Amino acid sequence: MIKLIDLLENKILVPRRSKEERSKNFLIATQKKIQQYIKGGSKGDLNLNDTPITSLPQDLKVGGGLYLRNVPITSLPQGLKVEGNLNIYNTKITSLPQGLKVGGNFDLDFTPITSLPQGLTVGGYLNLSNTSITSLPQDLTVGGFLYLRNTPISKTTTIQQIRQMVPGVKGRINLK
Protein backbone atom coordinates (compact mmCIF):
# COMPACT_ATOMS: atom_id res chain seq x y z
CA MET A 1 0.00 0.00 0.00
CA ILE A 2 1.35 3.45 -0.92
CA LYS A 3 1.79 5.88 1.95
CA LEU A 4 0.72 9.53 1.64
CA ILE A 5 4.22 10.70 2.59
CA ASP A 6 5.66 8.69 -0.30
CA LEU A 7 3.17 10.29 -2.69
CA LEU A 8 4.08 13.79 -1.50
CA GLU A 9 7.82 13.15 -1.58
CA ASN A 10 7.60 11.75 -5.09
CA LYS A 11 5.43 14.72 -6.10
CA ILE A 12 2.66 12.42 -7.21
CA LEU A 13 0.15 14.52 -5.23
CA VAL A 14 0.87 18.17 -5.97
CA PRO A 15 -1.75 20.85 -5.29
CA ARG A 16 -2.99 22.32 -8.55
CA ARG A 17 -3.22 25.83 -7.08
CA SER A 18 -1.14 27.64 -4.50
CA LYS A 19 -2.66 28.90 -1.27
CA GLU A 20 -2.41 32.48 -2.60
CA GLU A 21 -4.22 31.55 -5.80
CA ARG A 22 -6.97 29.74 -3.88
CA SER A 23 -7.40 32.82 -1.63
CA LYS A 24 -7.59 35.13 -4.65
CA ASN A 25 -10.16 32.87 -6.32
CA PHE A 26 -12.25 32.74 -3.11
CA LEU A 27 -12.30 36.56 -3.00
CA ILE A 28 -13.36 36.75 -6.66
CA ALA A 29 -16.13 34.19 -6.04
CA THR A 30 -17.33 36.20 -3.01
CA GLN A 31 -17.42 39.43 -5.04
CA LYS A 32 -19.42 37.63 -7.75
CA LYS A 33 -21.84 36.39 -5.09
CA ILE A 34 -22.47 39.99 -4.00
CA GLN A 35 -23.03 41.14 -7.59
CA GLN A 36 -25.44 38.24 -8.25
CA TYR A 37 -27.31 39.12 -5.05
CA ILE A 38 -27.73 42.73 -6.22
CA LYS A 39 -28.74 41.66 -9.77
CA GLY A 40 -31.29 39.29 -8.22
CA GLY A 41 -33.08 42.19 -6.55
CA SER A 42 -31.31 42.05 -3.15
CA LYS A 43 -33.90 39.63 -1.78
CA GLY A 44 -33.33 37.44 1.24
CA ASP A 45 -30.16 37.05 3.30
CA LEU A 46 -26.63 37.82 2.15
CA ASN A 47 -24.35 35.48 4.07
CA LEU A 48 -20.68 36.39 3.76
CA ASN A 49 -19.50 34.80 7.02
CA ASP A 50 -15.90 33.55 6.99
CA THR A 51 -15.12 35.03 3.54
CA PRO A 52 -12.12 37.23 2.63
CA ILE A 53 -14.30 40.24 1.72
CA THR A 54 -12.77 43.61 2.66
CA SER A 55 -15.40 46.01 1.30
CA LEU A 56 -19.03 46.24 0.17
CA PRO A 57 -20.60 48.38 -2.58
CA GLN A 58 -21.89 51.89 -1.74
CA ASP A 59 -25.67 52.18 -1.15
CA LEU A 60 -26.05 48.40 -0.71
CA LYS A 61 -29.62 47.38 0.13
CA VAL A 62 -30.14 44.00 1.80
CA GLY A 63 -33.71 42.66 1.80
CA GLY A 64 -32.97 40.14 4.56
CA GLY A 65 -30.03 39.73 6.92
CA LEU A 66 -26.41 40.63 6.24
CA TYR A 67 -23.91 38.29 7.89
CA LEU A 68 -20.25 39.34 8.05
CA ARG A 69 -19.02 37.25 10.97
CA ASN A 70 -15.24 36.65 11.01
CA VAL A 71 -14.40 38.67 7.88
CA PRO A 72 -11.48 41.13 7.45
CA ILE A 73 -13.77 44.06 6.52
CA THR A 74 -12.91 47.34 8.30
CA SER A 75 -15.88 49.57 7.43
CA LEU A 76 -19.43 49.49 6.13
CA PRO A 77 -20.44 51.54 3.07
CA GLN A 78 -22.43 54.77 3.11
CA GLY A 79 -26.09 54.24 2.29
CA LEU A 80 -26.20 50.67 3.65
CA LYS A 81 -29.75 49.54 4.50
CA VAL A 82 -30.44 46.14 6.06
CA GLU A 83 -34.07 45.05 6.45
CA GLY A 84 -33.21 42.01 8.57
CA ASN A 85 -30.38 41.30 11.01
CA LEU A 86 -26.85 42.69 10.68
CA ASN A 87 -24.09 40.58 12.19
CA ILE A 88 -20.56 41.98 12.16
CA TYR A 89 -19.39 39.84 15.08
CA ASN A 90 -15.61 39.51 15.33
CA THR A 91 -14.71 41.88 12.46
CA LYS A 92 -12.19 44.75 12.33
CA ILE A 93 -14.93 47.39 11.87
CA THR A 94 -14.13 50.55 13.85
CA SER A 95 -16.85 52.89 12.60
CA LEU A 96 -20.33 52.80 11.10
CA PRO A 97 -21.91 55.02 8.43
CA GLN A 98 -24.16 57.92 9.44
CA GLY A 99 -27.89 57.14 9.36
CA LEU A 100 -27.45 53.33 9.36
CA LYS A 101 -30.78 51.53 9.65
CA VAL A 102 -31.08 47.88 10.64
CA GLY A 103 -34.59 46.39 10.62
CA GLY A 104 -33.76 43.42 12.85
CA ASN A 105 -31.03 42.67 15.39
CA PHE A 106 -27.57 44.22 15.20
CA ASP A 107 -24.64 42.26 16.66
CA LEU A 108 -21.29 44.06 17.07
CA ASP A 109 -19.90 41.65 19.69
CA PHE A 110 -16.06 41.49 19.67
CA THR A 111 -15.48 44.43 17.31
CA PRO A 112 -13.05 47.30 18.06
CA ILE A 113 -15.80 49.94 17.70
CA THR A 114 -15.69 52.81 20.25
CA SER A 115 -18.71 54.93 19.27
CA LEU A 116 -21.91 54.80 17.23
CA PRO A 117 -23.04 57.24 14.53
CA GLN A 118 -25.84 59.75 14.87
CA GLY A 119 -29.15 58.47 13.53
CA LEU A 120 -28.50 54.77 14.14
CA THR A 121 -31.83 52.88 14.17
CA VAL A 122 -32.12 49.21 15.15
CA GLY A 123 -35.51 47.46 15.03
CA GLY A 124 -34.49 44.53 17.26
CA TYR A 125 -31.76 44.22 19.86
CA LEU A 126 -28.37 45.94 19.74
CA ASN A 127 -25.46 43.89 21.07
CA LEU A 128 -22.38 45.98 21.94
CA SER A 129 -20.94 43.42 24.39
CA ASN A 130 -17.16 42.97 24.39
CA THR A 131 -16.54 46.20 22.45
CA SER A 132 -14.65 49.35 23.42
CA ILE A 133 -17.81 51.49 23.26
CA THR A 134 -17.45 54.58 25.44
CA SER A 135 -20.50 56.63 24.44
CA LEU A 136 -23.93 56.36 22.84
CA PRO A 137 -25.61 58.92 20.55
CA GLN A 138 -28.59 60.64 22.11
CA ASP A 139 -30.78 59.89 19.07
CA LEU A 140 -30.04 56.14 19.12
CA THR A 141 -33.21 54.09 18.57
CA VAL A 142 -33.37 50.44 19.63
CA GLY A 143 -36.62 48.46 19.43
CA GLY A 144 -35.38 45.63 21.64
CA PHE A 145 -32.73 45.07 24.29
CA LEU A 146 -29.43 46.94 24.51
CA TYR A 147 -26.53 44.71 25.57
CA LEU A 148 -23.47 46.49 26.99
CA ARG A 149 -21.73 43.67 28.85
CA ASN A 150 -17.97 43.97 29.25
CA THR A 151 -17.69 47.48 27.79
CA PRO A 152 -16.10 50.65 29.22
CA ILE A 153 -19.53 52.30 29.39
CA SER A 154 -20.97 49.40 31.43
CA LYS A 155 -18.27 49.91 34.07
CA THR A 156 -18.89 53.65 34.56
CA THR A 157 -22.60 54.16 33.90
CA THR A 158 -25.82 52.90 35.50
CA ILE A 159 -28.89 51.64 33.66
CA GLN A 160 -30.78 54.76 34.81
CA GLN A 161 -28.07 57.05 33.41
CA ILE A 162 -28.12 55.22 30.08
CA ARG A 163 -31.94 55.51 29.92
CA GLN A 164 -31.59 59.27 30.39
CA MET A 165 -28.83 59.50 27.75
CA VAL A 166 -30.66 57.41 25.14
CA PRO A 167 -34.42 57.48 25.68
CA GLY A 168 -34.96 55.69 22.33
CA VAL A 169 -34.11 52.26 23.82
CA LYS A 170 -37.43 50.40 24.12
CA GLY A 171 -36.25 47.15 25.68
CA ARG A 172 -34.13 46.25 28.68
CA ILE A 173 -30.58 47.47 29.11
CA ASN A 174 -28.14 44.75 30.18
CA LEU A 175 -24.82 45.79 31.66
CA LYS A 176 -23.75 42.43 33.10
Residue 13 has pLDDT above 60, yes or no: no
Distances (CA, A) of 103 to 123, 135, 143, 164: 5, 22, 9, 24
- Are 130 and 107 spatial neighbours (Cβ–Cβ below 8 Å)? no
pTM of this structure: 0.85
Query: Could you report the per-residue pLDDT of 30-75, keeping only the tens digit for each?
Result: 899 999 999 999 999 999 999 999 999 999 999 999 999 999 999 9
- The more confidently predicted of residues 113 and 5 is 113
Q: Give backbone dihedrals phi and psi of 44, rounded to 5 degrees, phi first.
A: 80, -165
Q: Where are the domains of the chain?
A: 17-174
Q: Which residues pair with 46 in a beta bridge?
A: 66
> 121-143 pLDDT, tens per residue?
999 999 999 999 988 999 999 99
Phi, psi for 46 (deg, rounded to 5): -120, 100
pLDDT digits (tens, 9 = 90+) for 72-127: 999 999 999 999 999 999 999 988 999 899 999 999 999 999 889 999 999 999 99
pLDDT at 27: 83
- Does CATH number 1.20.1070 belong to domain 17-174? no
